[in-house]
Amino acid sequence: MTKIAVMVSGGGTNLQALIDAEKAGKIPHGKITLVIASNAKAYALERAAKAGIESTVVARKSYESQEAFDQAVVDTLRAHDIDMVILAGFLSILGETVIKAYPDRIINIHPSLIPSFCGKGFYGLKVHEAALERGVKVTGATVHLVNEIPDGGRILLQKAVAVEEGDTPEVLQRRVMEQAEWILLPQAAELLAASLNEEE
């Protein structure tokens, strides 16, 4: 069974989609055994508690350097015997140490069709503001492997979502979550968990 850690920073709706998918038997090769939040106020921690999943906070500001933070993340993952990591709305930067410890074992959900509207500074509502600003008719979400380049790793899954007349960034974000993110992330989790199961 592939042990999965989910890393969160905010509301945790993607975490909830993963929890619900696991309960529905859609992630048969993986089990979410740990949630790591970048701050103690993340509502995602409530969702983990309700689902009976162990959680911990590893806050970047508690460490004097990126390296010290990265090492704390790796130590936490290793201590829980984690096999793969899912970044679900996680907003802290993960440095080389983490990427090297989990090569091709970290996936991230990004709320656009990469390579559009991605990279440094494109997160949360900013992604949808940029899509509306550009006037694209179609946007969507991407699940990709995480490497040292922000949103630069191999693309695993993508799903398109229509932009509609009068969309605000908030309305568009919600549609992309409902119609793409919450569908793709559990699918990608099972794909990677199954492939790692073979390796073990």
Binding residues for ligand GRF (CB under 6 A): 8, 10-15, 44, 88-89, 109, 111, 124, 173, 177, 181
Active site residue 80: no
Report the relative pairing of strands 138-145 and 155-162 from DSSP bridges: antiparallel
Q: Which is nearer to ligand GRF, 180 or 200 (CB)?
A: 180
Minimum Å gap between C-beta 43 and ligand GRF is 8
Asked if residues 154 and 193 have their Cβ atoms less than 8 Å apart, the reply is no
Q: Which is nearer to ligand GRF, 69 or 117 (CB)?
A: 117
Q: Which is nearer to ligand GRF, 95 or 124 (CB)?
A: 124
Q: Report the C-alpha gap between 198 and 200 in whole angstroms.
A: 6
> Which residues lie closer than 8 Å to 60 by C-beta, 6 or more apart?
38, 66, 69, 92, 93
Minimum Å gap between C-beta 197 and ligand GRF is 25
Residue whose pair of structure tokens reads 């790692």 in the numeric block: 196
Minimum Å gap between C-beta 3 and ligand GRF is 20
Q: Report the C-alpha gap between 30 and 187 in whole angstroms.
A: 11
Smallest CA-to-CA distance from 4 within 151, 133, 134, 197 is with 197
Task: Please tell me which residue in 29, 80, 110, 128 is annotated as part of the active site.
Answer: 110
Q: Which is nearer to ligand GRF, 81 or 115 (CB)?
A: 115
Minimum Å gap between C-beta 52 and ligand GRF is 19
Smallest CA-to-CA distance from 119 within 94, 151, 147 is with 151
Residues labelled as active-site residues: 110
